[in-house]
């Protein structure tokens, strides 16, 4: 159970502690932040409201710890990561329990998130050993005017302190996707668990349990820290902190604000999407319907890679809409504890936002394939047909179980709509013609295009990146490790040119 057994240390009465200098602490602020259960809409947990002074202390400790960690052999770093991965998987049940109660993730998906996270950490350890064990040797005579009298040895070195801010929908998996690469590359890591709004920290308690698994694995004190609190108090303070050498953020628009305020540090940002699903006349329509439901409605549409607009050729639209409606009717709607397919969305303000998009579409004449139904944060799955570009839902991401269908008369029309979005995370195209699929993929301004499947980030070693407002940089295990390092060169200058086997 959460907060008990090996996790008893992380709880102080009713309030979860924060993690600094290798120990669990209560904040000197004496204040805490409530985490509201999306299903019951009652306070489920409380976390510490850390102060700026405590953040400063964390940064000081991280700086010292990082220097020693950078001198720790790569194989030892990997060994500790493997250990943490095993502990994480061993304790999947209490961590999954937090995910169910904090973010209403269906119980079986919550367990999957933790297991996937353990696998991600192990893979990161192995990949790090491989790619960080290699460097480059350059010789000078390839550049005009030079003899071979300079040898340049370059290798990858850590950046320093990485600040990781994951989103509420994957508070464990998208935290370890930052923690693993940062640590294997020799960095220290400061985690600021998700902040869904200024006062709520949905996902923070699951993240604290996950951090405890790293603590149990025996990482040096100060190397990993986790601070919780109000965005208004420590949000900007952290992201603009002079001690931070890299920021990896996944979330919404806040990322745009962070990128404007952050100093001269490398940024890795994933900020949402309006993933388009383009359906051609020759597509396998059963496959299309299955992927629209899976892509648009799993975890109630609260995935940045969810299908967020269907752009379908008019000639096959009726058939696909009918097939999708039949599948939607079978989805189980209710609490995450019962493993329902559609569970309450994360906050009341999210539900209100989704409702605003639905009402706008209603006023402007969209066809409701189901009756709009909401109880508290729970919104029943809804397909909106005949959506037009003047409706907000054609462009904005609901992050909920509501999906617009726009009927198109040409592929060009679909590509035009996709590319007119300010987002460009992923997209998908359904057709049996691989040549057309490639042409459309090339034309779509998205970081990834899936052919004949719904958008998805995984497997976790694949590159994952967004264009335009969807992000900066590329993720995926290998790219994240590389991003959290910089190249260091040493040049050997010979007194006279020397040619190998010359």
CB of residue 304 vs ligand G3H: minimum separation in angstroms? 3
Stretch that binds ligand G3H, among 82-90, 327-335, 440-448, 456-464 (CB under 6 A): 456-464
The residue from 270, 322, 363, 412 that is catalytic is 270
- Please list every residue from 280 through 319 that binds ligand G3H, using CB under 6 A: 303-305
Does 7 participate in binding ligand G3H (rule CB under 6 A)? Answer: no
Q: Output 7 or 170, the one with its CB closest to ligand G3H.
A: 170
- 3 state SS of 154: strand
CB of residue 254 vs ligand G3H: minimum separation in angstroms? 14
Stretch that binds ligand G3H, among 100-108, 278-286, 379-387, 454-462 (CB under 6 A): 454-462
Does 450 participate in binding ligand G3H (rule CB under 6 A)? Answer: no
Residue that has been written with the tokens 């709509």 in this structure: 417
On the 0-12 / 13-18 / 19+ scale of CB atoms within 10 A, 394 is buried
- 3 state SS of 257: helix
CB of residue 303 vs ligand G3H: minimum separation in angstroms? 4
Does 457 participate in binding ligand G3H (rule CB under 6 A)? Answer: yes
Q: Output 233 or 469, the one with its CB closest to ligand G3H.
A: 469
Residue that has been written with the tokens 């995370």 in this structure: 425
> What Å distances lie between residue 275 and 198, 328, 329, 366, 394, CA to CA?
27, 20, 23, 20, 11
Region for 457 from its dihedrals, namely left if φ exceeds 0, alpha if ψ lies in -120 to 50, beta otherwise: alpha
Q: Is 270 a catalytic residue?
A: yes
Instruction: Count residues binding ligand G3H (CB under 6 A).
Output: 8
CB of residue 305 vs ligand G3H: minimum separation in angstroms? 4
Residues with Cβ < 8 Å from 346, sequence gap 6 or more? 38, 103, 104, 168, 169, 196, 202, 302, 377
Does 192 participate in binding ligand G3H (rule CB under 6 A)? Answer: no
- 3 state SS of 346: coil
Scanning 133-235, the segments in alpha helix (DSSP H) are: 173-184, 204-217
- Strand ranges (E), 159-240: 161-165, 188-191, 224-226
Q: Output 233 or 341, the one with its CB closest to ligand G3H.
A: 341
Contact track, ligand G3H, 247-276, x by CB under 6 A: ------------------------------
Please tell me the distance from the alpha carbon of residue 400 to that of residue 244, in angstroms, as a whole number: 34
- 3 state SS of 200: coil
CB of residue 175 vs ligand G3H: minimum separation in angstroms? 12
Q: Which run of H or of E encompasses 275?
A: strand 275-279
Residue 51 near residue 29 (C-beta atoms within 8 A): yes
Q: Output 170 or 430, the one with its CB closest to ligand G3H.
A: 170
Does 456 participate in binding ligand G3H (rule CB under 6 A)? Answer: yes
- Strand ranges (E), 300-356: 307-313
Does 458 participate in binding ligand G3H (rule CB under 6 A)? Answer: yes
Contact track, ligand G3H, 155-174, x by CB under 6 A: --------------xx----
> What Å distances lie between residue 427 and 280, 385, 389, 414, CA to CA?
14, 19, 18, 11
Residue 103 near residue 300 (C-beta atoms within 8 A): no
Q: Output 182 or 456, the one with its CB closest to ligand G3H.
A: 456
Residue 184 near residue 481 (C-beta atoms within 8 A): yes
CB of residue 199 vs ligand G3H: minimum separation in angstroms? 22
Q: Output 16 or 170, the one with its CB closest to ligand G3H.
A: 170
Residue 47 near residue 32 (C-beta atoms within 8 A): yes
- Please list every residue from 325 through 364 that binds ligand G3H, using CB under 6 A: none
CB of residue 298 vs ligand G3H: minimum separation in angstroms? 8
Stretch that binds ligand G3H, among 182-190, 214-222, 385-393, 455-463 (CB under 6 A): 455-463
Residue 99 near residue 203 (C-beta atoms within 8 A): yes
Q: Output 55 or 456, the one with its CB closest to ligand G3H.
A: 456
Tokens of 58: 């964390």
Q: Output 128 or 251, the one with its CB closest to ligand G3H.
A: 251
- 3 state SS of 107: helix
CB of residue 401 vs ligand G3H: minimum separation in angstroms? 14
Catalytic residue set: 270
Residues at the site binding ligand G3H, with contacts judged by CB under 6 A: 169-170, 303-305, 456-458
């Amino acid at each position: 159970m959460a907060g008990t057994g090996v996790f008893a240390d992380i709880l102080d009465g009713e309030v979860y502690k924060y993690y600094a200098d290798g120990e669990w602490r209560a904040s000197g602020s004496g204040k805490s932040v409530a985490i509201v259960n999306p299903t019951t809409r009652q306070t489920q947990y409380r976390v510490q409201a850390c102060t700026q002074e405590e953040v400063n202390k964390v940064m000081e400790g991280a700086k010292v710890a990082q220097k020693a960690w950078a001198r720790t052999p790569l194989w030892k770093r990997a060994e500790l990561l493997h250990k943490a991965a095993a502990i994480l998987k061993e304790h999947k049940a209490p961590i999954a329990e937090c995910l169910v109660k904090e973010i209403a993730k269906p119980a079986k998906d919550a367990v999957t998130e933790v297991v996937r996270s353990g696998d991600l950490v192990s893979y990161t350890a192995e990949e790090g050993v491989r790619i960080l064990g290699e460097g480059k040797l350059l010789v000078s005579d390839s550049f005009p005017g030079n003899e071979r009298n300079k040898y340049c040895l370059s290798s990858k070195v850590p950046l320093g302190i990485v600040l990781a801010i994951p989103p509420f929908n994957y508070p464990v998996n998208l935290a370890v996707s930052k923690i693993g690469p940062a640590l294997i590359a020799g960095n220290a890591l400061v985690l600021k668990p998700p902040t869904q709004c200024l006062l709520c920290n949905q996902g923070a308690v699951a993240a604290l349990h996950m951090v405890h698994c790293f603590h149990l694995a025996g990482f040096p004190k100060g190397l990993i820290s986790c601070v919780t609190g109000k965005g208004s108090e420590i949000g900007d303070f952290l992201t603009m902190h002079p001690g931070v050498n890299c920021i990896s953020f996944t979330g919404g628009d806040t990322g745009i604000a962070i990128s404007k305020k952050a100093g001269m540090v490398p940024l890795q940002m994933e900020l949402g999407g309006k993933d388009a699903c383009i359906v051609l006349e020759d597509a396998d329509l059963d496959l299309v319907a299955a992927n629209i439901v899976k892509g648009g409605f799993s975890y109630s549409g609260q995935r940045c890679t969810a299908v967020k607009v269907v752009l379908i050729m008019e000639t096959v639209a009726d058939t696909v809409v009918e097939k999708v409606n039949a599948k939607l009717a079978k989805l189980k709607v209710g609490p995450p504890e019962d493993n329902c397919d559609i569970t309450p969305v994360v906050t009341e303000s999210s539900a209100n936002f989704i409702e605003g998009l639905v009402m706008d579409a209603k006023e402007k004449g969209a066809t409701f394939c189901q009756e709009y139904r909401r109880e508290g944060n729970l919104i029943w799955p809804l397909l909106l047909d005949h959506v037009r570009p003047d409706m907000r839902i054609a462009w904005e991401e609901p992050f909920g179980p509501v999906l617009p269908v726009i009927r198109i008369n040409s592929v060009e029309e679909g590509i035009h709509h996709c590319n007119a979005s300010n987002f460009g995370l992923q997209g998908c195209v359904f057709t049996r013609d691989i040549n057309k699929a490639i042409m459309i993929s090339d034309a779509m301004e998205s970081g990834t295009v899936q052919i004949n499947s719904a958008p998805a980030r995984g497997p976790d070693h694949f590159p994952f990146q967004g264009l335009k407002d969807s992000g900066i940089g590329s993720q995926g295990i290998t790219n994240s490790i590389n991003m959290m390092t910089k190249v260091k060169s040493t040049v050997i200058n010979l007194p006279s040119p020397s040619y190998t086997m010359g």
